[in-house]
Amino acid sequence: MRVHAKRAGALLGGLLFPAWSMADWTLNMAPGVTGTSNEIFSLHMTILWICVVIGIVVFGVMFWSIFAHRKSQGHKPANFHENTVVEVLWTIIPFVILVVMAIPATATLVDMYDTAESDVDIKVTGYQWRWKYDYLEEDFGYFSNLATSKDEIYNRLEKNENYLLDVDNPLVIPVGKKVRLLVTANDVIHSWWVPAFGVKKDAIPGFINETWTRVDEPGIYRGQCTELCGKDHGFMPVVVKAVPQEEYDEWVAEQREAAQRERELTEKDWTLEELMERGEQTYASACAACHQADGSGAPPAFPALRGSQIVLEDMDAHLDIVVNGVSGTAMQAFGGQLSEVDLAAVITYERNAWGNNTGEMVTPKEVFEYKNQE
């Protein structure tokens, strides 16, 4: 039945709208790939079937009355309106069903809350509107941004199969290991969800939530932010790549090296062109969501950078805003989020892009000194 529906849907969809051919008529939750998600799935199915059975009984009696006890068929009404035994029964029976249901639910919950004895600890931080993953034992971390292009979102390009569910740098975890996730946020509340793991945890600024997962099958798993977090709430997916241990170790070694190289870049002497080139990329991932790719912003919430007094003239104020943010507004403090190189690059870019031709540049060393002057 479902296969037929799927085929019919795919056929019809393929004819009507290209997007429909990708669609499937999924009706139910998927069991997922972790112990937790499987337990949740079986709880879900149990309670669903209990509801279906109760529904059949209750609606059965109701429809029987609707068909058999109609006035139009000359049915004469009975006059009963009380029965203590029945009332007591239909209070106690549902209560017993609930108790039966609560027992496995409690067991699953206790298991979900047990974050002890983890093998890997990763800090997950929600930002407007991307995730940051910090590998706490390994001394590196990175941002994970939406990889879907604006052209796809605005229907100028055909949407690919992972439309809105694709990121530049996925979270990488080893299979078969207990991964503890420390979830927090930098600005507003976000929520980190991967349905296949049965893990959803709110990321709350100023607080750290704990959760864990153990994935046994290698693969790529996708989810989304599930707490309304502003304009681009629908555009901050979660992608997790579960890989075998050896592959994971290799990847970690690579990342550590790359992080080390990145730190050394601060010492390098940068030219304006190099900074501009790097700044353009940084701007696109960190700033363009609010200030727009052409620096026009969306006033009053997100001021324009093109032609801005601060960007054109006051270098210290510019540094201050980017590094420390503006409290009470959506402008975050990027000092802790971006490297000195990226900070220098993005400030230089903003002062020289879109007709802001100041010719001024700020070097990573100067940013480093600025950050450490207090």
Partner 1 sequence: MSAVADTHAQDDHHHGPAKGFSRWLLTTNHKDIGTMYLIFSFAMFLLGGTMAMVIRAELFQPGLQIVEPEFFNQMTTMHGLIMVFGAVMPAFVGLANWMLPLMIGAPDMALPRMNNWSFWLLPCAFLILVSTLFMSGGAPNFGWTFYAPLSTTYGPPSTTFFIFAVHIMGISSIMGAINVIATILNLRAPGMTLMKMPLFVWTWLITAFLLIAVMPVLAGVVTMMLMDINFGTSFFDASGGGDPVLFQHVFWFFGHPEVYIMILPAFGAVSHIIPAFSRKPLFGYASMVYAVGAIALLSFVVWAHHMFTVGIPIAGQLFFMYATMLIAVPTGVKVFNWVATMFRGALSFETPMLFAVAFVILFTIGGFSGLMLAIAPADFQYHDTYFVVAHFHYVLVPGAIFGIFASAYFWLPKWTGHMYDETLGKTHFWLSFIGMNLAFFPMHFLGLAGMPRRIPDYALQFADFNMVSSIGAFMFGATQLLFLLIVVKCVKGGAKAAAKPWDGAEGLEWTLPSPPPYHSFTTPPEVK
Restricting to residues 276-305, name those near partner 1 by CB under 8 A: 298, 300-301
State how far Cα 187 lies from the chain centre. Answer: 14
Is 27 an interacting residue with respect to partner 1 (CB under 8 A)? yes
Nearer to partner 1, 26 or 372 (CB): 26
Stretch that binds partner 1, among 32-40, 170-178, 262-270, 304-312 (CB under 8 A): 32-40
Which residue in the set 7, 11, 15, 106 belongs to the binding site for partner 1 (CB under 8 A)? 106
Which residue in the set 1, 71, 117, 309 belongs to the binding site for partner 1 (CB under 8 A)? 71
Stretch that binds partner 1, among 22-30, 117-125, 244-252, 275-283 (CB under 8 A): 22-30
The total of other beta-carbon atoms located within 10 Å of residue 4's CB is 9
Question: Cα(250)–Cα(355) distance, rounded to whole angstroms?
Answer: 44
User: Residue 116 is encoded by which pair of tokens?
Assistant: 């002890």
**Selection from 337, 346, 237 nearest residue 281 by Cα:** 346
Name residue 170's amino acid.
P
Least CB distance from residue 316 to partner 1, whole Å? 24
Nearer to partner 1, 220 or 259 (CB): 220
DSSP 157: S
x/- mask, partner 1, residues 73-92, rule CB under 8 A, reads --xxxxxxxxx--xx--xx-
DSSP 304: -
Which residue in the set 154, 246, 261, 264 belongs to the binding site for partner 1 (CB under 8 A)? 154
User: Segment 246-265, which members bind partner 1 (CB under 8 A)?
Assistant: none
Least CB distance from residue 348 to partner 1, whole Å? 28
Nearer to partner 1, 245 or 329 (CB): 329
User: Segment 39-68, which members bind partner 1 (CB under 8 A)?
Assistant: 39-40, 43-44, 47-48, 51, 54-55, 58-59, 61-62, 64-66
Torsion sign, CA atoms 265, 268, 270, 274: negative
Region class of 51: left (phi > 0), else alpha (psi between -120 and 50), else beta: alpha
User: Segment 166-225, which members bind partner 1 (CB under 8 A)?
Assistant: 187-189, 191, 193, 195, 198-202, 204-207, 209-210, 223-225
Torsion angle (degrees, nearest 10) of CA 276, 280, 282, 283: 120
Question: Cα(265)–Cα(65) distance, rounded to whole angstroms?
Answer: 80
Which residue in the set 11, 56, 102, 136 belongs to the binding site for partner 1 (CB under 8 A)? 102
Least CB distance from residue 70 to partner 1, whole Å? 5
State how far Cα 78 lies from the chain centre. Answer: 58
**Selection from 194, 255, 263, 181 nearest residue 224 by Cα:** 194
Nearer to partner 1, 161 or 316 (CB): 161
Least CB distance from residue 304 to partner 1, whole Å? 14
Least CB distance from residue 327 to partner 1, whole Å? 8
**Selection from 221, 218, 220, 214 nearest residue 196 by Cα:** 221
Least CB distance from residue 333 to partner 1, whole Å? 11
User: Residue 170 is encoded by which pair of tokens?
Assistant: 């996925």
DSSP 297: -
CB contact set of 342 (below 8 Å; sequence gap of 6+): 278, 279, 282, 286
User: Segment 311-340, which members bind partner 1 (CB under 8 A)?
Assistant: 328-330
Least CB distance from residue 252 to partner 1, whole Å? 28
